[in-house]
Structure 1
């Protein structure tokens, strides 16, 4: 698991974290992880990839359509026109 070091945490914040951890039956580092998860990954948050997938499904976009768009994007540009 990844680790994070939080430096310069005020004594008041440290006490509040310890109190919250104790009231939830966790260790302070477990409580800090729970707080971060709660704030950064709330239930019901918009997942952009899932939303785009659902939008393409609703509009009837197929894998062949996506492949055609990708091929057009990767194609060489048309040569410039010279009116000289």
Structure 2
């Protein structure tokens, strides 16, 4: 794994990092890793779940009665 050294970190930022780490029950180093992972780990591209949710986001589905298809499925034939 890579290592990083941050020079000239303002004292108030270091104090805030240590306080937040204490609140989360972890070391300042672990807190810094969590902050970096959370802020940089997200992709700019939406995931599949977000895209599916967006498809139906404007649909008004109130009062719609959908009947479940109870037709038995056909077993998969792998031969």
Say which structure is richer in helix: 1
CA distance in 1: counterparts of 2:45 and 2:31, whole angstroms: 25
Structure 1 residue ranges, 4+ long, deviating more than 2 angstroms after superposition: none
Asked whether 1:12 is paired with 2:9, we answer no
* Gap runs ≥5 in structure 1: 51-84
Match of 1:46 in 2: 45
> Matched residue pairs, number?
48
What TM-score do the two structures reach when normalised by structure 2?
A: 0.54
CA distance in 2: counterparts of 1:10 and 1:32, whole angstroms: 14
CA distance in 1: counterparts of 2:41 and 2:18, whole angstroms: 22
Q: CA deviation at 1:46?
A: 1.5
Match of 1:32 in 2: 32
Q: CA deviation at 1:45?
A: 3.9
